[in-house]
Amino acid sequence: MFFNFLLCVALSMLEVESMAIEGSVLTRYDPCGLGVLQFDKVTAAEWRGVVYFELYPHLTEVEIDIQFERQVELYGSSQNSTMSVRDDWHRFILRPKGALPKQYFFLLRLADNSTQVPTVANFKLNNVMLCNDAIKAAQTIDSLNVTTNPKEVYKQVCGRRALEHAELTSVRTQALAGDWPWHVALLKKNPNSDVTRYECGGSIISSTAVLTAGHCVSRGDILIEARLVVIVAGVNNHTDYNQIGRQALVARDIVLHPGYTDPLATSDLAIIKVHKFKYTAFVQPVCLWGPVYSKEDLYGKQATVVGFGYTETNQPSDVLRSAYTMIQNDTTCLSYSPKVYKNLLNEFSFCAGYGPNSGINPRNGDSGGGLVLGVLQSDHKISYILRGVLSKCGVSVGHTECDPQHYVVYTDVAPHYTWLYHHSGLKYRSNIL
Ligand SMILES: *[C@@H]1O[C@H](CO)[C@@H](O)[C@H](O)[C@H]1NC(C)=O
Ligand SMILES: *[C@@H]1O[C@H](CO)[C@@H](O)[C@H](O)[C@H]1NC(C)=O
Ligand SMILES: *[C@@H]1O[C@H](CO)[C@@H](O)[C@H](O)[C@H]1NC(C)=O
Ligand SMILES: *[C@@H]1O[C@H](CO)[C@@H](O)[C@H](O)[C@H]1NC(C)=O
Ligand SMILES: *[C@@H]1O[C@H](CO)[C@@H](O)[C@H](O)[C@H]1NC(C)=O
């Protein structure tokens, strides 16, 4: 009781302004952008492979057939398995014994101990080819139909990266341009001097609309003038004018959510209209969650947040960074600080973070930036779907920056799908494959 009381008086919420990612660097390799197979770098030369069998709940027996471009040593699987080694340590056939686990792990290193990525040449699951050169070659920006200019209503692909960005991503460290092609920087112009200042993050949801937080574009009831807002897309460093993917557009209109009120996270949303993004390998839309959703299904799910902002040492950073976070049930955050979270959490918001002791929370979020979930699609690949917009973070008394020990509150975009659809010029009902 006493402990709770202490937290109550020692914590308040702040609209999040900037982002710091704590914890060690994680480099992840997803061959062909698949959901089922990933490699995380664990030391300079060692990688941990993960096969997510939970994505295929009806499988009972599995044969994993994986071939690497280079000679590899594969060892230490998480479950007793038979392994057959072929093609001079390039190809491995693994059969886990017994009941299939949700996730199956193994370790590997390149035989020459080099620090390069263990590039996958072929990957089959139960004899179904999921990744090879032909599949990689077909995964171009053109094949995703994002660069075409539709006259008719059609199904557009969203939440995907171009292949050159799809396979290798650094998380909890600097992102490359194109890694998160929907994330933009929102800059504000000084009305008298044309000097711009970084203000917030945002997500491209259509070629003419960016979703950000309501508090990024208003103070009290006053909405900022659209002509003073500049959206910079396609970069991993918003101060670098020379990046090849850069597109900078001045806002034409700003639509604040009618339900937005400053102290709450309920409808902390605004749509910034622009004319208009050209979809490229660096600039692409994210998918929107909805109209069908359940908040309970989110609990315990890992999600990704991306932002420009601050580094671990609280230095301003121009560079895009990303981190994983964990969506928590309301009870977890409420019991951490009833006073603070009870006003913020309801059916239109959720909280996320790894908790007080993890050391890997996004510290200061990047207001207006998105929380995305990777969702497996029928082509076995992941599409990133926007579910939250960063709204509030916890601040300890006497401080002005977000405290990494506290959970962060996000506006849930799914209940607002109809409003978003209406105002963003989406031409298709569902933008998921
Ligand atoms: C692996 O096999 C050994 C001996 O056959 C057994 O003792 C052990 O429990 C098994 N481990 C798993 C994870 O199934
Ligand atoms: C690679 O590193 C492992 C573990 O450190 C070592 O056992 C092995 O001999 C090394 N191989 C080469 C080719 O250096
Ligand atoms: C892109 O459009 C073409 C025809 O316009 C279609 O055949 C193809 O399936 C579309 N690709 C995707 C990924 O939807
Ligand atoms: C970002 O770009 C600016 C302008 O080119 C440059 O001065 C700065 O060093 C860059 N930041 C990083 C971290 O690369
Ligand atoms: C909320 O999540 C925590 C931690 O994951 C778990 O222990 C608890 O049972 C959950 N509570 C509810 C009501 O779901």
Domain of 211, CATH number, reads 2.40.10.10
Nearest 10 degrees: Cα torsion 262, 323, 162, 72: -170
Listed residues 224, 250, 284: the one ending a domain: 284
The band of 181, judged by pLDDT with boundaries at 50, 70 and 90, is: very high
Choosing from 221, 255, 284, the residue where a domain stops is 284
| Residue 263: per-residue pLDDT | 78
User: Above 70 in pLDDT, residue 363?
Assistant: no
pLDDT at 298 over 80: yes
Secondary structure of residue 114 in the 3-state scheme: coil
Residue 304 is assigned to a structural domain of this protein = yes
Name the DSSP letter for residue 180. S
Which pLDDT score is estimated for 10?
45
pLDDT of residue 86 exceeding 50: yes
Confidence band of 393 (pLDDT split at 50, 70, 90): confident
pLDDT above 50 for 4: no
Pick from 159-163, 207-211, 357-361, 385-389: least confident: 357-361
Residues 58, 129 within the same domain: yes
Residue 404: pLDDT band (50, 70, 90) is low
Q: Is 393 within the bounds of a domain?
A: yes
Look up the domain containing 243 and give its range.
183-284
Same domain, 91 and 187: no
The pLDDT value given to residue 6: 32
pLDDT recorded at residue 379: 80
Decide: 240 in ligand 4 pocket, CB within 6 A.
yes
Classify residue 156: in a domain, yes or no. no
Domain assignment present for residue 170? The answer is no
- Statement to judge: residues 18 and 133 lie in one domain: no
Ligand in closest contact with the CA of 77: 1
Is pLDDT of 147 > 60? no
The answer to whether residues 307 and 406 belong to one domain is yes
Q: What is the pLDDT at residue 18?
A: 39
Do 224 and 313 lie in one domain? The reply is no
CATH number of 72's domain: 2.60.40.290
Q: How many C-beta neighbours within 10 Å does residue 289 have?
A: 23
**Alpha carbon distance 423, 432 (integer Å):** 19
Q: Which range, of 71-80, 217-226, 304-313, 384-393, averages the lowest pLDDT?
A: 304-313
Residue among 173, 176, 232, 239 whose CB has most ligand 4 atoms within 8 A, to mutate: 239
Gap from CA of 221 to ligand 4 centroid (Å): 35
- The residue among 160 and 128 whose pLDDT is bigger is 128
**Does residue 121 sit within a domain?**
yes
Bridge partner residues of 321 (DSSP)? 174, 307
pLDDT at position 308 is: 82
pLDDT at position 16, please? Answer: 47
Same domain, 336 and 405: yes
* Strand ranges, E, within 281-381: 287-288, 302-310, 316-328, 349-352, 370-376
Of 153 and 335, more confident? 335
Residue 52 has pLDDT above 70, yes or no: yes
More confident residue, 405 or 342: 342
**Structure letter (DSSP) for residue 286:** P
Nearest atom (ligand 4) to Cα of 237 = 1
Least confident of 9-13, 63-67, 123-127, 264-268: 9-13
What mean pLDDT, rounded, does the chain reach? Answer: 82
Position with higher pLDDT, 394 vs 13: 394
Do 267 and 294 fall into the same domain? no
Q: Are 147 and 155 in contact (CB under 8 A)?
A: no
Domain membership of residue 405 (yes or no) is yes
Residue 93 vs residue 154, higher pLDDT: 93
Q: Identify whether residues 316 and 232 lie together within a single domain.
A: no
* 407 Cα–ligand 5 center, Å: 15
Confidence band for 183, pLDDT divided at 50, 70 and 90: very high
Note whether 212 and 247 are same-domain residues. Answer: yes
Domain shared by 133 and 97, yes or no: yes
Count of structural domains, the chain: 3
- Whether residue 72 is predicted with pLDDT greater than 90 in this model: the reply is yes
Same domain, 188 and 213: yes
Residues 131 and 246 in one domain: no
Residue nearest to atom 5 of ligand 2 (CA): 113
pLDDT at 142: 67
Mean pLDDT confidence for 146-156: 50
Pick the ligand that lies closest to the CA of residue 240. 4
Residue 318 in domain: yes
pLDDT of 327 strictly over 60: yes
Q: Which of 78-92, 107-121, 415-429 has the lowest mean pLDDT?
A: 415-429
**Is residue 173 predicted with pLDDT exceeding 60?**
no
- Do residues 244 and 237 touch, judged by C-beta distance below 8 A? no
% of the chain exceeding 70 in pLDDT = 79
Q: Which has more confidence, 33 or 147?
A: 33
CA distances from 228 to 61, 186, 308 (A): 59, 10, 20
Residue 152 — pLDDT band, cuts 50, 70, 90? Answer: very low
Rounded to the nearest angstrom, the distance between the alpha carbon of 329 and the centre of ligand 5 is 6
Ligand 5: lining residues by beta carbon, under 6 Å: 300, 329, 331-332
DSSP 365-388: --TT-EEEEEEE-TTSBEEEEEEE
pLDDT tops 80 at residue 166: no
Q: Which of 230, 260, 284 is the last residue of a domain?
A: 284
Residue 164 within a domain: no
Closest residue CA from atom 11 of ligand 1: 80
Percent of the chain having pLDDT more than 90? 43
pLDDT in the model for residue 120: 94
- Looking at mean pLDDT, say which of 10-14, 42-46, 402-406 comes out highest: 42-46
